[in-house]
Structure 1
């Protein structure tokens, strides 16, 4: 008889999996919408409240600090209490805090609410990607997680539309309200998302896991009985909890280092340009409304970036795809920083969004694959948390570089710095990353059990 994992891996793409992917993706969309609107809000609120670039940087970083803490705590919680409960409550926290942000009466109040918004957003993303990864058969696992991440593009496009159409007319507060209310509805509908069968099996709830997999098997026209798992060794694994220090043991160290470099680099580079693009374009002489229009056009390039990555991830593998897309992002960042005309801004900006969001999709696909089930959410959460340190520092460092060299030269030097970051990450993945394509989650982590049971 087959185990839960083996039964999942032999399934086709069932209706239950499509439902999970869609419901998880809707929450992802509103998370992205919030992050996308921050760039428009920063440009608009800077004029409304007459804020310095340093204050604007702190506004962007406050949300990132919340995301760092949220990712770490949610990862631990998801390994302890389950993936499902975490993705529900983190979306609620995000929606409520985002809605209240629209009522901020002063700068300190907005900072606190942006931190709480980030707390929910940062916790939701690694837990949701882990859930989708664990529900997916091996042959479509990477593609499914990238499709989940592609909802980020739709959220960012919606945010760009809000910034372009509503903020200039109704002000920045409207942006928070428009995004928050649908997010709370999405949290309500997520009650229909079941728990991960792999997680249920890992904590000894084999009957619940069997029931879920049986439903998917019935949808696929397959029947099979659950393998009996009663050995003493399996019971010990089921009761294991992986600590932060375990992630740095010999068995996990390489995976942890590579993931932390990837997450720090992509967060620093990505948030170094997306949060500041409208403001930097205004500094180059474009009107605020025009900068929103440019951002909207560039956001459309995210979709082919995601879909190309989803197509290639199961054909050329995670390692090569990550390395190529990070290298492409580095080249695009260099070109965007040296853009001298409107057409060049749009063309190179589209390339920057294409490669960077394709890389993001593959990062989310790759991250949950390198740890076993008992450490998957916490390992992913800590990697995401460290990555948010990069996202936290970028909004501070970008204005320092920008102001030091002046508006024209500073724009170029900001993107030279980001080019170096993306190029370094590409090299690290190429040299030290490990390939996970075509392997079951259990096969990838074979020989990497928790030190407590090794």
Structure 2
């Protein structure tokens, strides 16, 4: 069939937006979500492993901070590079590669005998993990029908709670069982290396990305498969709509385009939100098991409290998934960030088991709901040719904060204990809530396919 007879890129996008939610959508969502959960499991496990290695290896607070932070150095690099590669090579290819990199590095961490090699491997874990998350959210957003796109991305982010809960269960039931429990935890983290094969051959490429690269025929076949899944055979194509040119095809051009007049305000605001949310989230959740141990709870009890706190993530995602299509992106994001600020102050000043658990669960509820809204809004504010790059660079800037926070928290704890630490984290949440209002809210609107 000659190229002139093929459907235009915009018509393909319109057909994707008009689809009901199908089993093909569910496959994309769950396929990406499992990868997301495995990522969360790895990040969650390190918070428990740090608490154990602090005793086994007699680590200083600075060394413990570096175990957490070196992974985030890799995540900062990975997020920026992963977005650029996904806009150039495709969403699915990069998604699978990132799972392979961090899965192999996590499995190898089970064999380390000292701090230096663990830090090297944690960097590579971060490299893969940092690239995977923004690519996965971009990937799912490009399949999701416009009217439920935000909700599906929040559901995708909810897989993070599944992974973090798995980490908490491993931390509670596996790590304390023997001196080598932390090694078994790392070994379980190697599962993503195997799952990468499922992603590579089991999921389709984004038809929006294929069309942006001129591969219209392949994009058409994928769209037709989704229409067939919905019982819509031979859906008519809209030939009269022309294709809007992509903004740029070079990596350096994509980065510069993020700061063009059209995008500079939203780029500045999304980078600020990502920075502040990363700082507060990782400043709190990486250190919660260690903070509880320092407060006098034994290792098993602190891990049990952390498990209960983690369980509040799922209802946080559920509420955010509902509100994001009712209130919109900006209002939902800002409300959950303000709730996170209030909860952080409550947790930092809590006394007694009940207050610690209740305020920790509130922090978990609001903070993870905010993450869901943030991942939903970020891919939507950029056109297809910049989407993964814009999402990846925003995540990369955020990872700078996740490097700083685990190193700064011990200093804050030493200066003013948990109350000072969590007041500082609350301030970052409030700043993020304000910056959210500089973003574009595309609730129910088609994605920009330039």
- Please, what TM-score do these two structures have when normalized by structure 2? 0.94
CA distance, structure 1, for counterparts of residue 156 and residue 24 of structure 2: 15
Tell whether 2:426 aligns with 1:440.
no
> Which residue pairs with 1:400 in the alignment?
411
- For residues 25-84 of structure 1, what are the alpha-carbon distances to aligned partners after superposition, in whole Å with 9 as ceiling and x for unaligned? 111111000000111011001111000111100110000000000000000000001001
Does residue 1:426 correspond to 2:437, yes or no? Answer: no
Asked whether the 8 Å contact 2:91–2:136 carries over to 1, the reply is yes
Corresponding position: 1:173 with 2:183: yes
Unaligned runs of 5+ in 1: 450-454
The residue that corresponds to 1:263 in the other structure is 274
Query: What's 1:189 paired with?
Result: 198
Tell me how far apart the structure 1 counterparts of residues 66 and 109 of structure 2 sit (CA, whole Å): 15
Q: Give CA deviations for 1:179-231 in whole Å, capped at 9, x if unaligned.
A: 21x22232121121111011011111111111111111111122324444896
Is 1:148 the equivalent of 2:156? yes
Cross-structure match for 2:318: 307
Compute the displacement of 1:252 (Å). Answer: 1.0
CA displacement at 1:238 relative to structure 2:
8.0
Asked whether the 8 Å contact 2:90–2:209 carries over to 1, the reply is: yes
2:340–2:366: 8 Å Cα contact kept in structure 1?
Answer: yes
Structure 1: distance between partners of 2:244 and 2:361: 50
What runs of 5+ residues in structure 2 fail to find an aligned partner?
Answer: 1-6
Check 1:157–1:109 CA distance in 2 against 1; reply closer, same or farther (3 A cut): same
Structure 2 CA distance for partners of 1:116 and 1:240, relative to 1, 3 Å: closer
Q: Tell me which residue corresponds to 2:20.
A: 12
Task: Give the match for residue 452 of structure 1.
Answer: none
Q: Deviations over 1:370-418 (max 9, x none)?
A: 000000000000000000001000001100111123xxxx111110110
CA root-mean-square deviation: 1.6
2:227 pairs with one of 217, 223, 238: 217
* Residue equivalent to 1:30: 38
- Determine the structure 2 residue equivalent to 1:105: 113
Q: For the residues of structure 1 that align with 2:15 and 2:120, how far apart are their CA atoms?
A: 46
- Secondary structure of the equivalent of 2:79? helix
Query: Which residue of 283, 289, 292 corresponds with 1:281?
Result: 292
The 1:90–1:229 alpha-carbon spacing in structure 2 relative to 1, beyond 3 Å, is farther
Which residues of 2 match residues 56-71 of structure 1 at below 5 A? Answer: 56-71=64-79
Distance 2:246 2:126 in 1: 36
SS at match of 2:254: coil
- Which of 192, 202, 207 is 2:217 aligned to? 207
Q: Whole-Å Cα distance in 2 between the matches of residues 199 and 236 of structure 1?
A: 11
Say whether the 8 Å CA contact 1:202–1:237 is kept in structure 2.
Answer: no
Instruction: Provide the aligned length of Structure 1 versus Structure 2.
Output: 437
Contact 1:66 1:115 in 2 (8 A): yes
Q: Indicate the larger mover: 240-249 or 76-85.
A: 240-249
Alpha-carbon distance change, 80 to 21 in structure 1, aligned in 2, over 3 angstroms: same
Runs of 4+ in 1 over 6 A off after TM superposition: none
